């Protein structure tokens, strides 16, 4: 028998509507699963009382026939979204004990639609990382293991807590954010679905900023449909975010069953990097075959500036981050470490409050913006961004509806395995996802199979600006063909 937390979000929604079980039952099943899974370190903060309160309200709404779109559905919230009266840390010591007196636009939208909060999910510190190992509160352990191995694996990052919690049935879905791949890469590592919508689709208001021109919120869930349902609630115009689009939110769930007949899917030759594992190449070819079989046309395309996206990203993102993180100075909130004067107080606070990776990125960002280097680094990187965006525009102008690529260059790796002195080794994880952020486009990662070691692998679909609907339709075709990833047996409880 399926326990309630193993339902998909859509199944749970329909079960609540049919009064097969109550929102309180659903919340309790999840609370129990969360408590039993502490070994994964997915939740930084559990909020069971709040979950039960919200579930009780949901039950009364359902009883009154006033159910809202997400009524009674328990979710996890990445700890980058500020939650009113609930500690928000961004995975950093510098925000330990920070209690916002405001609610992020995205989480607010979810509660408005009746969702239930289970707690705050672990992440890489300030969303800077690809393995969730940079969290000041410890790494998240993936629920997945290599066949016959007990080596703890990373869930990917920075939304590693979100991906692990969704994969391990510790919530029906989770909020996540993606600056260079932080939704899609962990989704791919954990056999879950994650979509980074078009830049401007979700409001950034109340979400702790990493790199303002790249950050976007999106959901991670177990199915394409679940992601569509969640994004429909999370997205929407917000007058408090100047970069948030004033566009109506389409019916994403309806788009899921549109099919791919008549669509043209581009296969960019530049993503065929030498040294890519054969398994991934095979999976990619398989994905194209599936879509062709479902009625799509496959077309080879060229995105010539692809290889420059990652290095350009490592200029733009740290530059913006170095400025965005200047506010953590020990004056108005968060950690303060005293010093003999104000400058020393700042330096001590930030040295103790930020972890190694965050400091490294602040330093790089400070350097590339500094006098004499700004044009050579920052301005050049932003010009290259223009070129990257043009590549995509040219492809779309030729009639391509979506682009299919691998989501990651490898399957999940072991915790500590990439802790080498060279930070670039870790950065290469985002090589396929980062172009999408640089161009502000929507991208979805969908599970497509397992590798020889039994670990999930994902494919990525990249869409036109504000055309998430085509991504949902196409991702559903892959999900239909690949079948839902069979989740690992519970070893952690």
Partner 1 sequence: MRALLRIGFVASMSVDAHTVRRIAHLARIAVSESEVAPLQDELNAILAFVEQLGAVDVSGIEPMTSVTPMVMKKRDDIVTEGGRARDVVFNAPETEDHYFLVPKVVE
Partner 2 sequence: MNAPATPKKLIKGGLHDWEVVIGMEIHAQVTSRSKLFSGASTEFGGEPNDHVSLVDAAMPGMLPVINAECVAQAVRTGLGLKAQINHRSVFDRKNYFYPDLPQGYQISQYKDPIVGEGEVIVDLPDGTSITVGIERLHLEQDAGKSLHDQNPTQSFVDLNRSGVALMEIVSRPDLRSSEEARAYVTKLRTILRYLGTCDGDMEKGSLRADVNVSVRKPGDPLGTRCEIKNVNSIRFIGQAIETEARRQIAIIEDGGTISQETRLFDPAKGETRSMRSKEEAHDYRYFPDPDLLPLEFDQAYVDALAEGLPELPDAKKARFISDYGLSTYDAGVLIAERSSADYFEAVAKGRDGKAAANWVINELFGRLNKEGLTIETSPVSADQLGGIVDLIGEGTISGKIAKDLFEIVWSEGGDPRALVESRGMKQVTDTGAIEAAVDEIIAKNPDKVAQAKEKPTLLGWFVGQTMKATGGKANPAAVNVLLKSKLGIE
Number of residues that bind partner 1 (CB under 8 A): 82
Taking every pair of Cα atoms in the chain, the longest distance, rounded to a whole number of angstroms, is: 69
Establish if 283 lies at the interface with partner 1 (CB under 8 A): no
Choose from partner 1, partner 2, none: what does 364 bind? Cβ within 5-8 Å by kind: partner 1
| Side-chain-side CA neighbours of residue 25 (13 Å) | 12
Establish if 474 lies at the interface with partner 2 (CB under 8 A): no
Closest CB to partner 2 among residues 16, 209: 209
Sort 439 into a burial class: Cβ within 10 Å, 0-12 / 13-18 / 19+.
Answer: buried
**Residue (of 290, 354, 274) closest to 322 by Cα position:** 354
Establish if 346 lies at the interface with partner 2 (CB under 8 A): yes
Burial 324-358 (b: 16+ CB within 10 A, else e): bbeebbbeeebbbbeeeeeeebbebbbeebbbebb
Establish if 243 lies at the interface with partner 2 (CB under 8 A): yes
**Residue (of 200, 204, 207) closest to 246 by Cα position:** 200
Backbone φ, ψ for residue 396 (5° rounding): -65, -35
Report the nearest approach of partner 2 to the CB of residue 399 (Å). Answer: 30
Establish if 360 lies at the interface with partner 1 (CB under 8 A): yes
Helix (H) or strand (E) holding 262: none
Report the nearest approach of partner 2 to the CB of residue 479 (Å). Answer: 33
Dist CA 328 CA 199 (whole Å) = 25
CB contact at 8 A, 207 and 107: no
Dist CA 80 CA 210 (whole Å) = 10
Dist CA 486 CA 195 (whole Å) = 20
Choose from partner 1, partner 2, none: what does 293 bind? Cβ within 5-8 Å by kind: none
CB contact at 8 A, 177 and 400: no
- What is the distance of C-alpha 356 from the center of its chain? 22
Identify the residue among 333, 427, 466, 492 touching partner 2 (CB under 8 A).
Answer: 333
Catalytic residue among 22, 28, 78, 162: 78
Dist CA 472 CA 54 (whole Å) = 29
| Positions 416 through 455 that interact with partner 1 (CB under 8 A) | 421-425, 427-428, 431, 438-440
Using DSSP's 3-state secondary structure scheme, residue 397 falls into: helix
Q: CA 92, 93, 97, 98 torsion: positive or negative?
A: negative
* Interface region with partner 2, contact rule CB under 8 A, candidates 41-49, 203-211, 303-311, 471-479: 203-211
Closest CB to partner 2 among residues 99, 151: 99
The strand order across the sheet containing 456-463 reads 43-46, 116-121, 74-78, 173-178, 216-221, 193-196, 443-450, 456-463, 402-406, 264-268, 297-301
Number of residues that bind partner 2 (CB under 8 A): 44
Choose from partner 1, partner 2, none: what does 449 bind? Cβ within 5-8 Å by kind: none
| Positions 454 through 473 that interact with partner 1 (CB under 8 A) | 465
* Interface region with partner 2, contact rule CB under 8 A, candidates 154-162, 275-283, 323-331, 446-454: 323-331
* 158 a catalytic residue: yes
* 93 a catalytic residue: no
Choose from partner 1, partner 2, none: what does 319 bind? Cβ within 5-8 Å by kind: partner 2
**Residue (of 189, 195, 194) closest to 155 by Cα position:** 189
Report the nearest approach of partner 2 to the CB of residue 426 (Å). Answer: 24
Q: List the x/- string, 294-333, binding to partner 1 by CB under 8 A.
A: -----------x-xx-xxx-xx------x---x--xxxxx
Establish if 344 lies at the interface with partner 1 (CB under 8 A): yes
| Positions 116 through 155 that interact with partner 1 (CB under 8 A) | none
Choose from partner 2, partner 1, none: what does 246 bind? Cβ within 5-8 Å by kind: partner 1
Helix (H) or strand (E) holding 396: helix 380-397
| Positions 358 through 397 that interact with partner 2 (CB under 8 A) | 366, 369-371, 374, 378
Establish if 343 lies at the interface with partner 1 (CB under 8 A): yes
Closest CB to partner 2 among residues 209, 256: 209
DSSP codes of every residue in 324-391: HGGG-SSSSSS-----SSHHHHHHHHHHHHS-HHHHHHHHHHHHHHSTTTHIIIIIHHHHHHHHHHHH
Q: Which residues, 6 or more positions from 266, have their beta carbon under 8 angstroms from its beta carbon? A: 299, 300, 301, 395, 400, 402, 403, 404
State both tokens at 210. 């990493």
| Positions 232 through 251 that interact with partner 1 (CB under 8 A) | 239, 242-243, 245-246
Sort 422 into a burial class: Cβ within 10 Å, 0-12 / 13-18 / 19+.
Answer: exposed
Catalytic residue among 107, 158, 159, 233: 158
Establish if 381 lies at the interface with partner 1 (CB under 8 A): yes
Identify the residue among 50, 299, 380, 418 touching partner 1 (CB under 8 A).
Answer: 380
Establish if 351 lies at the interface with partner 2 (CB under 8 A): no
| Positions 77 through 136 that interact with partner 2 (CB under 8 A) | 81-82, 88, 90, 95, 98, 100-102, 104
* 78 a catalytic residue: yes
| Side-chain-side CA neighbours of residue 5 (13 Å) | 24
* Interface region with partner 1, contact rule CB under 8 A, candidates 11-19, 20-28, 48-56, 378-386: 378-386
Establish if 284 lies at the interface with partner 1 (CB under 8 A): no
* Interface region with partner 2, contact rule CB under 8 A, candidates 48-56, 135-143, 190-198, 338-346: 338-346
Instruction: Catalog residues that contact partner 2 under the rule CB under 8 A.
Output: 81-82, 88, 90, 95, 98, 100-102, 104, 204-209, 211-213, 239-243, 319-320, 322-323, 325-327, 329, 331-333, 342-343, 346, 366, 369-371, 374, 378
């Amino acid at each position: 028998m399926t326990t309630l937390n193993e339902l998909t979000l859509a199944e749970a929604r329909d079960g609540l509507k049919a009064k097969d079980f109550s929102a309180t039952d659903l919340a309790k099943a999840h609370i129990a699963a969360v408590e039993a899974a502490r070994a994964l370190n997915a939740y930084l903060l559990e909020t069971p009382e709040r979950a039960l309160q919200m579930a009780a309200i949901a039950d009364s709404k359902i009883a009154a026939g006033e159910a809202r779109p997400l009524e009674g559905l328990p979710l996890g919230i990445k700890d980058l979204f500020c939650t009113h009266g609930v500690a928000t840390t961004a995975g950093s010591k510098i925000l330990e004990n920070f209690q916002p007196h405001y609610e992020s636009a995205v989480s607010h939208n979810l509660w408005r639609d009746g969702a239930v909060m289970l707690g705050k999910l672990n992440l890489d510190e300030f969303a800077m990382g690809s393995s969730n190992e940079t969290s000041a509160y410890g790494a998240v352990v993936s629920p997945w293991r290599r066949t016959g191995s007990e080596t703890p694996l990373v869930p990917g990052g920075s939304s590693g807590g979100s991906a692990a919690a969704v994969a391990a049935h510790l919530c029906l879905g989770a909020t996540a954010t993606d600056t260079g791949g932080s939704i899609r890469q962990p989704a791919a590592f954990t056999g879950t679905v994650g979509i980074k919508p078009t830049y401007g689709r979700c409001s950034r208001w109340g979400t702790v900023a990493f790199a303002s021109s790249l950050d976007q919120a999106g959901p991670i869930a177990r199915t394409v449909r679940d992601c569509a349902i969640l994004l429909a609630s999370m997205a929407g115009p917000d007058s408090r975010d100047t970069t948030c689009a004033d566009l109506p939110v389409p019916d994403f769930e309806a788009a899921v069953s549109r099919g791919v007949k008549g669509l043209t899917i581009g296969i960019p030759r530049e993503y065929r990097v030498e040294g890519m594992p054969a398994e991934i190449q095979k999976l990619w070819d398989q994905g194209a075959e599936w879509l062709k079989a479902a009625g799509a046309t496959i077309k080879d395309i060229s995105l010539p500036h692809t290889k420059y996206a990652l290095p350009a990203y490592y200029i733009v993102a740290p530059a913006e981050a170095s400025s965005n993180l200047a506010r953590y100075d020990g004056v108005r909130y968060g950690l303060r470490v005293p010093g003999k004067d104000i400058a020393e107080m700042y330096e001590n606070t930030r040295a103790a409050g930020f972890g190694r990776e965050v400091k490294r990125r602040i330093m790089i960002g400070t350097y590339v913006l500094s006098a004499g280097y700004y044009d050579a680094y920052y301005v050049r990187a932003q010009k290259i961004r223009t070129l990257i965006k043009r590549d995509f525009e040219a492809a779309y102008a030729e009639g391509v509806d979506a682009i299919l690529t691998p989501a990651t260059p490898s399957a999940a790796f072991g915790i500590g395995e990439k802790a080498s002195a060279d930070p670039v080794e870790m950065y290469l994880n985002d090589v396929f996802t980062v172009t999408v952020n640089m161009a502000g486009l929507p991208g979805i990662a969908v599970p497509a199979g397992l590798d020889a070691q039994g670990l999930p692998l994902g494919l990525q679909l990249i869409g036109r600006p504000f055309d998430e609907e085509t991504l949902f339709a196409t991702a559903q075709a892959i999900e239909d063909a690949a079948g839902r990833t069979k989740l690992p047996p519970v070893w952690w409880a």
